[in-house]
Amino acid sequence: MATRTIVEAPGVARRRRLDETYIGEWLMTTDHKKIGVMYMLTGFFFFLAGGLEALLIRTQLAVPNGKVLSAEIYNQIFTMHGVTMIFLFVMPTLTGFGNFIVPLMIGARDMAFPRLNAFGYWVVLFAGLFLNSSFIFGAAPNGGWFNYAPLNELTTACGNAVMCTPGMNEDFWLLGILLLGISSIAGSLNFVVTILKMRAPGMTINRMPLFTWMTMVTAFLLLFALPSLTAASVLELLDRHLGTHFFQAQFGGDPLLWQHLFWSFGHPEVYILILPAFGMISEVLPVFSRKPIFGYTFIAWSGVAIGFLSFTVWAHHMFAVGLPPIAQAFFATSTTLIAIPTAVKIFNWIATVYGGKVSLKVPMLFALGFIAMFLIGGLDGAALAVVPFDYQVTDTYFVVSHLHYVLFGGTVFGIFAGFFYWFPKISGKLLDERLGQVQFWLMLIGVNLTFFSMHILGLLGMPRRIYTYPGDLGWNELNLLQTVGAYMLGIAIMVFFWNLIISLRSGEPAGNDPWDAYTLEWDTTSPPPHYNFPVVPTVRSRRPYYDKKNPDIADWKTATH
């Protein structure tokens, strides 16, 4: 059990140990805060890599019959763009936030398994380097981020596919994914145990912050979804290296087996990518509206509902593969159902803003932008559940539009909301407000400029994953527009990194509580000391720090939870 109260005592003069050198300190750390920072730095580094890949794609597609990238290179770039953004940017960054913030939020001194925590991080770093080293061999994965069989068993430029010797490309994907799965499982175990067993006295499940709730649901999703992906990857490695035939039709196997296994992971995965962002904005909106989150119970439990339902919808990624109509009707129904808890959350967030005292600082701008953009992504996701319509637009730019609205307009905006909100706590300095505003508006306009007209391209018949297109199909202007938007997003990211650098160097000191916030992480110094809290607090409501600052109108006096 954690030490209740800590008093620092002076040290003794002696030789420095390895873990007290600067490098040693980071290589050997098990402190959740340092590990969180490393996750976030790694995540943002791969955000740049994935963003560069995106700009290459858009430059190639800016004009018809583009000659910027060959077909072979383009196919590697678009595959790695997806893999990098999902597995090397979003997941590590969200894990980083979870790592840094969740123990502080629940009043704990660290995660339940500190060494396992560090292990999870190092695996991510090595896996990311391993995956990207494939470029050096000219053999980056090129089967798409979901790597369908039997294309994933084959090499690149080969006509009669089955008769070719496999190239290394997909092996990098498979091995990288296995490593990342190990890391995610380690991290998820840690989150589940920490959240269930290490909350401060008085913090019942129904009093813990929503970011913690969403992180916990995400951790359970990872634990139950990753086995499918791991199984699929192992079966695929066996097919490629040990002569089995799981996915090879001519020997009695079935390519669709890969799709079912992959999407059984892949669908929960997309909720894994968004739920922590839901949690982040559920923290930002109340603080910047100066009132509690509206409908805490409904938001928390709709997160759980989404978690359960996410395992029942996977074949909506497979409506065109020839499943029987009854099965398709089932998945259309389950997909429709999962839209309901999502809608409930959106309404609760808006109700939090309504009637409040809205301060439009940068974290709030991103949180509000999140709602606006995620609504679009959610609506066209619901449209994709309309099976006959999906027959037309699946595998086209309509889907590319949907996924980028929810991932960029959703998760990335959520990440920036969280980053601008918690950066003062992590570093002790404030990010520049004006640069943040510039970044926000560039991103809001850029996202819509880049991704909205992709809906139209899908309706105009443009399939996904094509390295070029002819000039006489009416797709030229929209593609050019989207490339301009993508460069605008690139500029916005540059503004962000500039902001980060100058704020780290000479940002305004933040103090403990720059936003007058409500949760426990603000009740300690910025950055927090090694042991987080001198005294482990006792919690009496959902807004323990608000209660402490406002004892007369504390929540535990007025609300019944």
Smaller CB separation from other proteins, 49 or 125: 125
- Distances from the Cα of 435 to the Cαs of 288, 495, 544, in angstroms? 19, 7, 32
- Contact partners, residue 103, CB within 8 Å, separation at least 6: 32, 109, 110, 111, 194, 198, 532
The 3 state secondary structure assigned to 393-457 is HCCEHHHHHHHHHHHHHHHHHHHHHHHHHHHHHHHCECCCHHHHHHHHHHHHHHHHHHHHHHHHH
Determine the Cα angle at 430 with ends 84 and 50, to 5°.
Answer: 10
Hey, which residues between 113 and 152 contact other proteins (CB under 8 A)? 114-119, 121-123, 125-127, 130, 143-144, 148, 150-151
Tokens representing 190 are: 């840690």
CA distance 98 to 37: 10
Does 59 bind other proteins (CB under 8 A)? Our answer is no
At its nearest, how many Å lie between other proteins and the CB of residue 126? 4
Does 160 bind other proteins (CB under 8 A)? Our answer is yes
Task: Based on the residue annotation, tell me whether 317 is a catalytic residue of this protein.
Answer: yes
The amino acid occupying position 511 is G
Task: Based on the residue annotation, tell me whether 521 is a catalytic residue of this protein.
Answer: no
Smaller CB separation from other proteins, 340 or 504: 340
Q: Which residues pair with 539 in a beta bridge?
A: none
Name which position in 289, 439, 479, 482 contacts other proteins (CB under 8 A).
289
- Secondary structure letter of residue 509 according to DSSP: B
Name which position in 291, 317, 402, 425 contacts other proteins (CB under 8 A).
291
Does 312 bind other proteins (CB under 8 A)? Our answer is no
Smaller CB separation from other proteins, 322 or 506: 322
At its nearest, how many Å lie between other proteins and the CB of residue 237? 7
Smaller CB separation from other proteins, 328 or 411: 328
At its nearest, how many Å lie between other proteins and the CB of residue 549? 7
Return the sign of the alpha-carbon dihedral for residues 23, 27, 28, 32: positive
Tokens representing 306 are: 């989404």
Task: Based on the residue annotation, tell me whether 464 is a catalytic residue of this protein.
Answer: yes
- Contact partners, residue 347, CB within 8 Å, separation at least 6: none
- Contact segment (CB under 8 A) with other proteins among 80-88, 159-167, 267-275, 485-493 equals 159-167
Task: Based on the residue annotation, tell me whether 530 is a catalytic residue of this protein.
Answer: no
Does 230 bind other proteins (CB under 8 A)? Our answer is no
- Contact segment (CB under 8 A) with other proteins among 269-277, 407-415, 421-429, 552-560 equals 552-560
> Which is the catalytic residue, given 33, 34, 58, 81?
81
Smaller CB separation from other proteins, 206 or 504: 206
Does 371 bind other proteins (CB under 8 A)? Our answer is yes
At its nearest, how many Å lie between other proteins and the CB of residue 156? 6
Task: Based on the residue annotation, tell me whether 263 is a catalytic residue of this protein.
Answer: no
Q: Which residues pair with 429 in a beta bridge?
A: 509
Residue with tokens 């990010």: 431
Name which position in 59, 156, 230, 244 contacts other proteins (CB under 8 A).
156
Does 71 bind other proteins (CB under 8 A)? Our answer is yes
- Distances from the Cα of 296 to the Cαs of 98, 299, 346, 370, 504, in angstroms? 19, 5, 12, 19, 34
Smaller CB separation from other proteins, 268 or 436: 436
Tokens representing 394 are: 């699946």
Does 64 bind other proteins (CB under 8 A)? Our answer is no
CA distance 554 to 303: 27
CA distance 127 to 178: 9
Does 27 bind other proteins (CB under 8 A)? Our answer is yes
- Distances from the Cα of 344 to the Cαs of 281, 292, 336, in angstroms? 15, 17, 13
Task: Based on the residue annotation, tell me whether 260 is a catalytic residue of this protein.
Answer: no
Task: Based on the residue annotation, tell me whether 513 is a catalytic residue of this protein.
Answer: no
> Which is the catalytic residue, given 32, 199, 267, 404?
267
Tell me the site size for other proteins, rule CB under 8 A.
Answer: 158
Q: Are 256 and 212 in contact (CB under 8 A)?
A: no
> Which is the catalytic residue, given 34, 109, 240, 317?
317
Does 1 bind other proteins (CB under 8 A)? Our answer is no
At its nearest, how many Å lie between other proteins and the CB of residue 125? 8
Task: Based on the residue annotation, tell me whether 267 is a catalytic residue of this protein.
Answer: yes
Does 446 bind other proteins (CB under 8 A)? Our answer is no
Task: Based on the residue annotation, tell me whether 455 is a catalytic residue of this protein.
Answer: no
Smaller CB separation from other proteins, 269 or 390: 390
Task: Based on the residue annotation, tell me whether 269 is a catalytic residue of this protein.
Answer: yes
Cβ density class 141-169: b for 16+ within 10 Å, e for less = bbbbbbbebbbbbbebeeeeeeeeebbbb
Tokens representing 253 are: 């196997």
The candidate with the shortest Cα–Cα distance to 281, out of 183, 375, 200, 194, is 375
Name which position in 136, 243, 325, 552 contacts other proteins (CB under 8 A).
325
**Contact track, other proteins, 394-433, x by CB under 8 A:** xxx-------------------------------------
Does 557 bind other proteins (CB under 8 A)? Our answer is no
Q: Are 43 and 416 in contact (CB under 8 A)?
A: no
Does 343 bind other proteins (CB under 8 A)? Our answer is yes
Does 202 bind other proteins (CB under 8 A)? Our answer is no
By annotation, the residues acting in catalysis are 81, 110, 145, 183-184, 267, 269, 271, 282, 316-317, 342, 345, 464
